Structure 1
Amino acid sequence: MAAKFDRVAADIRQRITSNDLKPGDRLPPETTLMEEYGVALGTIRRAMALLEAEQHIVRVHGRGTFVQQRRTRVERSNDRYQWEKDRVALPDEERAAEGASERDTGLPADSFDFKPRYERTEADADLATAFGVAEGTPLLRRTFRTRVKEETAPFQVTISHLRADHIEKNPDLFDEAKGWWAGGTQHQLSTVGIEVARIEDRVLARPATSDEAAEFDITPGSPVVADRKTSISNDGEVVEVADNVWPADRIALTFTTNLEANRTGDDG
């Protein structure tokens, strides 16, 4: 049998998802909820803590508890990378008509506030291992924050690293002012003759750090989804290492694997 606080949380959650309680609505005080559900104060507080961790509610000191404003959800599938690669050869105007964020959210391009930040850096031990290079190898670090204009916090933060020696033939790739680039990293790399042949993703769920909680406007310790994306060229070299982070309630990952037919034949 579910614990009392689980039953309370489930009922309030259902009222939120059914739109009986709307985004921005204030929940009744704890004493009122105690009477409504016939439970102790500790039970209500455990239910509220669970709903807050799930990002259904937000508690504002001195004001009360409110239903969380709905925030854009990203639907990301593993055919995304082939879609990006197919766009490398498209004319600039056609490639610019739709980017990955538009594809993942279903929103038009003018919905987003996209902020890039570029800086030259050197490979630390982690990145040196990831790239298969010596520590201190020059890199370009690119930080991308993507936010829907009507929302207060980004739905995704990406920290991407490229090897400086791979991209030095095209100075535009070092230019922060040109951080928005139709076609994304695969097209950028194609301008210096690099074709991405394979991409590996390592995805894990973990609690948000304090910096991530502030960045995403979530409660410290709330779950986030972190993805280390490694892009590998036709020559077998690692050409990009990108760390993507999303609040867990804002990302859905879909993986489709095509399977070969069973092999049948004569055993004799």
Structure 2
Amino acid sequence: MPKPHDEIADDVRSGTFVRRSRTVAVRDNGRHQWEKDRARQPRTTRAATGVTEHDTGLTGDDLVFSARYRTIRAPGDLASAFGVPEGTALLERSYRTRHTADPAPFGLVTSYLPYSLAAANPDLLDEANEPWPGGTQNQLHTVGVEVDRVEERLTARPPAPEEARELGLPPGSAVILLRKTSYDLGDRVVEVSRIVLPADRTELVFTTRLERW
């Protein structure tokens, strides 16, 4: 079940403060194995639910989703991450998902794939095919890539003005910056995501399973 979170929000129309309920997204690192387990499942299984539903307990009918694609030339930091020359073509995908009752998205997600890798399946170049059943791991599976591991790095800072506006953050809020890097079986970086999460309604859970003696 989704977790409601009451917060004080500014009602611009009346100049007063109102209390409204917003859904908390609980991001567990087990989500990556969950996504991988579904990557080779039939389309009907993959289409039934996605990672946002997994994180929030909501259903597809509760959500509003949008995607925007464009091709960019890799700047220095992304070129270094992918191990390619600066200026190499990347496919940039920007995603926004929100609850139908909330104008603000759960986070600001920007994902990058090497353009040459994505182009092996032309369907991956078309934003009209989003939301893609099975997400990025299934998309990579269609071009022969199996994800071996996912590395996530977290930092925090005050939001930039445009981030605060888009996320509907009250003054004094913070954002969590999550950089996700996916590696294939050959230790090649196949996807990098930059995710800006509102700290006031995001819960991060990390479970570390230890091998038995």
TM-score, length basis structure 2 = 0.92
Aligned to 1:69, what secondary structure does the other structure show? strand
The answer to whether the Cα contact below 8 Å between 2:173 and 2:200 also exists between their aligned partners in 1 is no
Question: Equivalences for 1:37-116 in 2 at 5 Å?
Answer: 56-60=7-11, 63-116=14-67
Superposed CA offset, 1:228-265 (max 9, x none): 00000111110000011111011111101112346xxx
Q: How far apart are 1:163 and its partner, in Å?
A: 0.1
Gap regions ≥5 residues in structure 2: 1-5
Aligned to 1:110, what secondary structure does the other structure show? helix
Report the identity percentage.
Answer: 50
Quick one: distance in 1 between partners of 2:195 and 2:165? 16
Aligned to 1:236, what secondary structure does the other structure show? coil
Gap regions ≥5 residues in structure 1: 1-54, 263-268
What is the aligned partner in structure 1 of residue 122 from structure 2?
171
Q: How far apart are 1:115 and its partner, in Å?
A: 0.5
What is the aligned partner in structure 2 of residue 138 from structure 1?
89
The answer to whether the Cα contact below 8 Å between 1:209 and 1:220 also exists between their aligned partners in 2 is no
**Aligned residue pair count:** 209
Structure with greater proportional strand content: 2
TM-score, length basis structure 1 = 0.74
What's the Cα RMSD here? 1.8
Q: How far apart are 1:98 and its partner, in Å?
A: 1.1
Question: Equivalences for 1:89-238 in 2 at 5 Å?
Answer: 89-219=40-170, 222-238=173-189
Quick one: distance in 2 between partners of 1:150 and 1:62? 18
Going from structure 1 to structure 2, the CA distance change for 1:217 and 1:122 (only over 3 Å counts) comes to same
Higher RCO structure, 1 or 2 (CA under 8 Å, sep 6+): 2
> Larger Cα Rg: Structure 1 or Structure 2?
1
User: What code does the residue aligned with 1:114 have?
Assistant: F
User: What code does the residue aligned with 2:89 have?
Assistant: P
Going from structure 1 to structure 2, the CA distance change for 1:150 and 1:125 (only over 3 Å counts) comes to same
